[in-house]
Amino acid sequence: MYICHLCPRNCGAARSETEGKGFCRLPSEMRIARIAPHLWEEPPISGTRGTGAVFFSGCTLRCVYCQNAEISHRNEGRPFTEYELSEALRRLVDMGMHTISFITATPYTDAVLRTLERYRPPVPLVWNSSGYETVETLRRLDGAIDVYLPDLKHHAASMSRLCAGVDDYFEITAKAIQEMVRQTESPVYDAEGIMTRGTLIRHLILPGSTGESRALLNWIYDTFGDSIPVSLMRQYVPCNNVSVPGLNRRVTEREYLRVLECMRALGLQGYTQDSESAETEFVPVFNQAESFV
């Protein structure tokens, strides 16, 4: 049993191996919903053979529109020991994965670090997160994680309150991303174009929110210049019976182009997506027999 302050929710809640009383309701033992090759991350993460993606159960942010609500809101998944995870990581490496991705792993930071002491995969390790992280927890990952893949979702407090029930998303995430960049510096790529070290910031455009997107892109440029790549995502699909007004539709072509134009005008480097990616069939299958290598 320990008292948890791992994420900015800062619950100070008790977490035992089998029970969690904090906002995330997660026990300290790892819960995982999928461990499998994943081909649909950005090219420097997935390459041609894929990233070995470990989707952890639960989320410390829980956006109302989440595409993966069965794991982020409802904590679906099965318990994993550190030994079991290390063996699964070995299998992913044997399958030829370019990278290993830990997705929404913050509530299990200690268990992940202990797993890596047991077996450190010989490929870049990616920390894929909502961006809503404390600098203290990120400092514990310094040297263990090679690549950070944070979201940068909201700029206005009113928007993060509406979507995730927190006023401080931007303030906290801005500091977290600066810490990630401090640790990893400018991106480094191998001969196959895989990022071996660095930070890649993801931004999902929301319908009716191009002003938010432009404010965030401007912050990236003002803070890092054009040194940090950005993945501009247009695949928003209304999910999880989202009831927030305005979020019940997809992003229009016009909205997407407006944000893309801003990214280009700032000279930010990075990645964009095809409109076909806005389909729910891109959502992986969780917590079924075929979900685990």
Q: Which residues sit at the interface with ligand SF4, rule CB under 6 A?
A: 4-7, 9-11, 13, 15, 20, 22-24, 26, 60, 107
HSE, CB side, 13 Å, CA atoms: give it for residue 281. Answer: 1
CB of 36 or CB of 105, closer to ligand SF4: 105
Q: Shortest Cβ contact with ligand SF4: which residue?
A: 22
Minimum CB–partner distance for residue 9 and ligand SF4 (Å): 4
**Sheet bearing 51-56, strands edge to edge:** 78-80, 30-38, 51-56, 99-103, 125-129, 147-150, 195-199, 188-189
CB of 35 or CB of 61, closer to ligand SF4: 61
Minimum CB–partner distance for residue 21 and ligand SF4 (Å): 8
Is-contact 48 99, C-beta < 8 A?
no
CB of 5 or CB of 49, closer to ligand SF4: 5
CB of 27 or CB of 124, closer to ligand SF4: 27
Q: Which helix (H) or strand (E) holds 263?
A: helix 253-266
CB of 58 or CB of 229, closer to ligand SF4: 58
Token code pair at residue 70: 């069965």
Minimum CB–partner distance for residue 239 and ligand SF4 (Å): 22
CB of 87 or CB of 168, closer to ligand SF4: 168
For helices 169-184 and 210-224, the axis angle rounded to 10 degrees is 40
Minimum CB–partner distance for residue 11 and ligand SF4 (Å): 3
Rounded distance between C-alpha atoms, residue 68 and residue 73, angstroms: 8
Is-contact 146 125, C-beta < 8 A?
yes
Minimum CB–partner distance for residue 68 and ligand SF4 (Å): 17
Pairing of β 125-129 and β 13-15: unpaired
Minimum CB–partner distance for residue 143 and ligand SF4 (Å): 22
CB of 115 or CB of 130, closer to ligand SF4: 130
Token code pair at residue 285: 């299958």
Rounded distance between C-alpha atoms, residue 108 and residue 20, angstroms: 12
What letter represents residue 246's amino acid? G
Token code pair at residue 48: 């041609």
Pairing of β 125-129 and β 78-80: unpaired
